[in-house]
Amino acid sequence: MQLQQFNSTQVKIAVPKETKLKECRVALSPDVVKDLIKKGFTVSLEKGAGEKSYYRDDVYTAAGAAIEADRKALFSNADIVMSVNAPSPEEIGWMKKEAVLISFMYAATHPELVDACVKAGISAFSMDAIPRISRAQKMDALSSQANLAGYKSVIIAADALGKIFPLMMTAAGTIKPSKVVIMGAGVAGLQAIATAKRLGAIVEVSDIRPETKEQVQSLGGKFIEVDFGEKLESTGGYAKTLTPEQAKKQQELIAKHVADADIVITTALVPGKKAPLLINEAMVKSMRNGSVIVDMAVEQGGNVSGSKMNENVVINGVKIIGESNLPSLLPLNASDLYAKNISTYLLHLATKDGFKWEMEEEITKGSLIVHKGTKK
């Protein structure tokens, strides 16, 4: 094991205020800050970093953290910068040589961030690249945030729909339950199923991975089966990309269910690639006036024809919600969970004395994007 020690007597962690549009999360919660300080680290946060997550600066100072008003100084003095979203290339350039950045990076689609890390001579770990293996579950921020996103997708769809979810019998007549179709039974999809069922809806679910059928049914959802003529294995928790023929076959079957749905929620993502189109223009137009679609993949290009990032559009009477950052709509929970994920990850990679750099260890190897200025 190669231990990288920093020049400072204590490893200095810096948490900047998030600047991405509509971002309300913060990388560390006060409780996690307190725990890291107990373990020998020092923590500084940019002034107001936790405001949108309902954490005031005084709560952080009470936990033992320092508050820094100068953003550039925060980056320049840090041994480790921990954030939700990656800093800009300019901000990465402020970091001192051999410092470490830990954040979501999505390196495959953001090469400019990788180049900035190489140029700055720093190391960078990406939270979205942590292997989805059992011993990394407590570090899996993709899953913790997707859980919240799945829940919130149903809540905002219910709010936009002009009818209730459950069966209701009244003196004036019986109200039929709403029908919700969910595309994708990953972490977000499964939470969406559970939430929609708790609200009383009829839930139908499509996923190309046959192994998800049992999970869908255990939550009370009806699994829509498509015969692709072969078993489509998943990799790292994601479905593989369909061939054009398979995609057409899926759409033909799904179209019937979509036309009868009150709400459709799409969750399909392919790592490093544009999200697959699941709901085409004809399928949108087939839905009843007043129906709602939530496109959870809108930031990666969208699963739905006509969806627009951070906009709600109406096509032929169907409202399409394109909220790009659903976890950020629940910033208190999202920040708490992310803070536990990233701190567990840090304590796997390092101690108060420095980074271990166990280069062949599975989690380190899978999530290290740049090492001391060299692209991995």
pLDDT in tens, the chain (376 residues): 555 555 556 899 999 999 999 999 999 999 999 999 999 999 999 999 999 999 999 999 999 999 999 999 999 999 999 999 999 999 999 999 999 999 999 999 999 999 999 999 999 999 999 999 999 999 999 999 999 999 999 999 999 999 999 999 999 999 999 999 999 999 999 999 999 999 999 999 999 888 899 999 999 999 998 776 666 555 555 556 667 777 777 778 899 999 999 999 999 988 888 999 999 999 999 999 999 999 999 999 999 999 999 999 999 999 999 999 999 999 999 999 999 999 999 999 999 989 999 999 999 999 999 999 999 8
Catalytic choice (5, 8, 76, 137)? 137
Cα–Cα distances (Å) from 154 to 176, 194, 245, 258, 274, in that order, read: 18, 10, 31, 16, 24
pLDDT score recorded for residue 246:
72
132 as an active site residue: the answer is yes
pLDDT tens digits, residue range 320-376?
999 999 999 999 999 999 999 999 999 999 999 899 999 999 999 999 999 999 998
Answer yes or no: same fold for 12-129+331-368 and 146-328.
Answer: yes
Q: What is the CATH number of domain 146-328?
A: 3.40.50.720
Instruction: Report the 10 Å Cβ neighbour count for 170.
Output: 7
Q: Are 250 and 184 in contact (CB under 8 A)?
A: no
pLDDT score recorded for residue 243:
74
143 as an active site residue: the answer is yes
Which tokens in the block code for residue 322?
């394109």
335 as an active site residue: the answer is no
How far is the C-alpha of 49 from the C-alpha of 47, rounded, in Å? 6
Domain ranges of the chain: 12-129+331-368, 146-328
Catalytic choice (44, 123, 126, 143)? 143
Q: Are 297 and 273 in contact (CB under 8 A)?
A: no
pLDDT score recorded for residue 230:
60
* Class level of CATH domain 12-129+331-368: alpha beta
pLDDT score recorded for residue 271:
82
Catalytic choice (31, 132, 234, 260)? 132
* Token pair 């320049």: residue: 76
Catalytic choice (53, 126, 140, 343)? 140
pLDDT score recorded for residue 191:
98
pLDDT score recorded for residue 118:
98
